[in-house]
Structure 1
Amino acid sequence: MNSDAFSLLVVDDEPNIRSGLAKGLAGEADIVDTAVDADDALAKFEKADYQLVIADVRLNCGITGIELLKKILFSRPQTAVIMITAHGTVEMAVEAMHAGAFDFILKPLDLNLIRQQVRKARQYHQLRVENQRLRNRLASAGEVSNIIGGGAAMQGVLQQIRQVAATEATVMIQGESGTGKELVAHALHDLSDRSSGPFIAVNLGAMPESLLESELFGHEKGSFSGATRQKPGCFEQASGGTLFLDEVTEMSAKSQVDLLRVLESRRFTRVGGEAQLQTDARVVSATNRSVEDLIADGTFREDLFYRLNVIPIEVPALRARREDIPLLVEHFLEHFCKRYNREIKRLAPEAMQTIVAAPWPGNVRQLRNVIERVVVTHTGNVIHNVELPSELTPKQRDNRALPPTLAEAVEGCERETIQIALEACDLHREKTAKALGVSVRTLHYKMGRYGLH
């Protein structure tokens, strides 16, 4: 099916509602199909790809509409699902939206409202298609489309990714927790000749020692209690693609020896097996700890480090790339507003200043969580300081605000100068840029950075 096509599936056990919606929405989608219950809907999903599902919460047979919603989004996370019901409660709506519903609409149905939401879902689908086309063009041009960063620190990382992606060298990615090390690993894979192959990620820090060998190398049926079938390991699954070993420094001494042996020989044996298997997986590893310190205290093998660290990539902490924070904020605001079906929100200038100046010990992951929180909890279109988590707002000492740092003072002066220039030029951006002696592109970036509109 054409990726631009927009297909809709109506699921309702009431024939009149089912046929009425299908007829009323015929002009809103390229294809409109119907299903009488959840089982019928799931069967149709095996044969076709629907971008939008409108499903009743209560279905007479099979699983409920909420369970159908969860099953659809588990296998097709990009599908939009609108739930409808004649027996709605606040708790039911919260459960549906928490499970990922695009909207929750009460019966009797307002066809105009349904059409409006279908159009929103179609616009959302078209935006995803365009974004995917852009990502494909960027990838073919050697760009890194899944990492946001315009500052010097991240540009250096992006340049390393472009240089290294096409090689077969092992890469070790180092950086604090939450900096985006797995995104770097994905980018290395996506820009490599292995991009059509699998990308397999395993978190070694979360893996019990007793299961790690089986997870990495697989096992034969009956090799231990509970091994009821043969299972391929990560090295086998990732052959022809990329194997990402996260938190690699958390491995035990024995597991380090096993990993070193595979890296040297490219061969391994399943647990309980005898046959030597070969892997063609490219290994990319990551850690948030100082490997040099671990080698010094004897908890990580130096020879394994040299095998893994042929190409080192250091991902900077968010506080070392503050110039990227407004870009990340804009990205996360757009993402979560669409995810939770909210109108696009923006940060007030003082809120943007607070976010840029915050310490961010949890790095990009913490920033992402903060933006998601304010999108979910704040009902207005403009987010002010009062809506930000308390840990981000300036702390007080002796009932007086701490003085700004020199960088904060300079940024405050710059923001005020831009604001004055914009007002003097009647918000005309080209005139403003000329008056300030900067390019229009630089002005746009600065305005985004300081939340000026």
Structure 2
Amino acid sequence: MSSDAFTLLIVDDEPNIRSGLARGLAAEADVVETAENADDALAKFAQTNYQLVIADVRLNSGMTGIELLKKIRFSRPQTAVIMITAHGTVEMAVEAMHAGAFDFILKPLDLNLIRQQVRKAREYHQLRVENQRLRSQLASAGEISNIIGGCAAMQGVFQHIRQVAATEATVMIRGESGTGKELVAHALHDLSDRSDGPFVAVNLGAMPETLLESELFGHEKGAFSGAARQKPGCFEQAAGGTLFLDEVTEMSAKSQVDLLRVLESKQFTRVGGEQVLQTDARVVSATNRSVQDMIADGTFREDLFYRLNVIPIEVPPLRERREDIPLLVEHFLEHFCKRHGRPSKRLAPEAMQTLVAAHWPGNVRQLRNVMERIVVTHTGNVIHSGELPAELSRKEGAHRALPRSLAEAVEVCERETIHLALEACESHREKTAKALGVSVRTLHYKMGRYGLH
């Protein structure tokens, strides 16, 4: 069976429920199979890679549906599981969602609601398949260092890196803050003949001018107050390797002259010294500013720009490579779950839509930080759009995607309304229920459904 196929297993001890769901969901999946208890389900699960399981919480024989859910999530965490029950409680719903359930639905079943959730699970499966396809494409194309990108713009960056890595030409990497310019510099080093040599990075924007000369060229003992010993500078430390000058446009006029002289002569002297030293470090620089504008207003030397910009590489902002966001999200979630010792997590389809639509002024760095925050602070396995940082869905900071259906729009609105009501009532359940015009039981169920603990 194709890896793209969407297969569904229905587990319920009531024959009418099994057959009714199988008929009603036949058009939503490529394969629909049924099992009458957990043991039967696990036996079939061992033979078939189901993408979705719909299981009753209470099964007459063997383990419960919640126990089955935990076994499925442990053995195949990518499988989505929807729990159904006629005897639901808030505690049961919370336990199921914490165990990784995709959704928790009460009987009598609303077939339209079931179909809607199955379609969401299928969207999630298709997204995962697409991510795997992109990973395969990247691997076959020779994925570069730790840079992830399947879009045409990033493939162009990869091509530039491969073309110039083995040369000695100076490279200027341009792009907004947070786009991954240092990763590109690392890739140039890793793919060059200098890969066995050192990679030395210095942030010129964070360096006071009084210390910059010493940082770049080193100093002799006693050259200035506090110089208790001789210290090699970055040009010496990078001998045989690569020197990465980040925020190169932040240098003062004097420092620009000093750097230009070294680039032209390949020679320098330490601060307080007389010996002329040679450098063979390859220079790669980066900036997030418009160098042409700085040249025009006289704040950056045109001759230094031409020395640094022999090979230009432009890194696109994240908002211009939105098709890479799902791939980056999956990578960061996997990375931070391992790093912080947390169980695997995934985003609900509407949450992924929010991330893809966001403006991302901080680019990949901002996305990385958001994913780490979610991994550390979110207790469940499924992350919904309402649990993402609020700034991602603000109109001024994001381009909202339209909901895929009216039902989805209602869900998003309902969750946000309950969240705001809880805040206004200081999390007092009875007051919140009264303000919303619903029973406390309904409020508890909705809170469990939307992860509003």
* TM-score range for the pair, normalised by the shorter chain length: 0.5 to 0.7
Tell me how far apart the structure 2 counterparts of residues 269 and 412 of structure 1 sit (CA, whole Å).
Answer: 64
1:150 aligns with 2:150: yes
| Cα gap change, 1:211 to 1:138, in 2 (>3 Å) | farther
Report the Cα offset of residue 395 of structure 1.
Answer: 3.7
The corresponding residue for 1:228 is 228
AA partner of residue 286 (structure 1):
A
SS in 1 for 2:245: strand
Contact 2:345 2:381 in 1 (8 A): yes
**Structure 2 counterparts to residues 122-271 of structure 1, below 5 A:** 143-271=143-271
Name the TM-score, length of structure 2 as normaliser: 0.57
1:58-115 deviations in Å (ceiling 9; x for gaps) = xxxxxxxxxxxxxxxxxxxxxxxxxxxxxxxxxxxxxxxxxxxxxxxxxxxxxxxxxx
- Cα distance 1:142–1:330, how it changes in 2: closer, same or farther (>3 A)? closer
| Deviation by residue 1:379-413 (Cα, 9 ceiling, x = unmatched) | 000011121000012549xxxxx9x87xx45x949
Q: Quick one: which amino acid aligns to residue 203 of structure 1?
A: N
Map of 2:64 onto structure 1: none
Give the aligned partner of residue 321 of structure 2: 321
After superposition, the C-alpha distances for 1:227-247 in whole angstroms (9 at most, x for unaligned) are 000000000000100000000
Alignment of 1:300-449 (within 5 A): 300-395=300-395, 408=401, 412=404
Change (3 A) 1:142 1:266: farther
Query: Counterparts of 2:334 and 2:143 in 1: how far apart (Å)?
Result: 22
| Separation in structure 1 between the aligned mates of residue 325 and residue 208 of structure 2, nearest angstrom | 36
Deviations 1:189-237 (A, max 9, x none): 0000000000000000000000000000000000000000000000000
Whether the 8 Å CA contact 2:221–2:227 is kept in 1: the answer is yes
Secondary structure of the residue aligned to 1:244 is: strand
CA distances 1:134-165 after superposition (whole Å, capped 9, x unpaired): 9xx979x9641310000111011011000010
User: In the superposition, relative to structure 1, how do residues 332 and 142 fare at CA in structure 2: closer, same or farther (>3 Å)?
Assistant: closer
SS in 2 for 1:172: strand
* Aligned partner letter, 1:336: F
- List gaps (5 residues or longer) in structure 2: 1-134, 409-453
Task: Sort the Cα spacing of 1:165 and 1:230 in 2 relative to 1 into closer, same or farther, 3 A.
Answer: same
Q: Report if the CA contact (8 A) 2:174-2:288 is conserved.
A: yes
Could you tell me which amino acid in structure 2 is paired with residue 381 of structure 1?
N
- State the secondary structure of the residue aligned to 2:280: coil
Task: Look up the equivalent residue of 2:226 and give its one-letter code.
Answer: G
Letter in 1 for 2:326: P
Counterparts of residues 3-42 of structure 1 (less than 5 Å): none
Q: CA RMSD in A?
A: 2.2
Q: In 1, distance between residues paired with 2:404 and 2:223?
A: 65
* Structure 1 runs, 4 residues or longer, greater than 6 Å off: none
The 2-side partners of 1:337 and 1:412 are apart by 29
Partner of 1:273: 273
* Partners of 2:286 and 2:255 in 1: CA distance: 16
Identify unmatched segments of 5+ residues in structure 1.
Answer: 1-133, 397-401, 417-453
Q: Which residue of 2 aligns with 1:288?
A: 288
Letter in 1 for 2:272: G
The offset of 1:325, in angstroms, is: 0.3
Q: Is the 8 A contact 2:145 2:186 kept in 1?
A: no
Question: Larger radius of gyration, structure 1 or 2?
Answer: 2
Question: Identity percentage over the alignment?
Answer: 83
TM-score, structure 1 length as denominator? 0.57
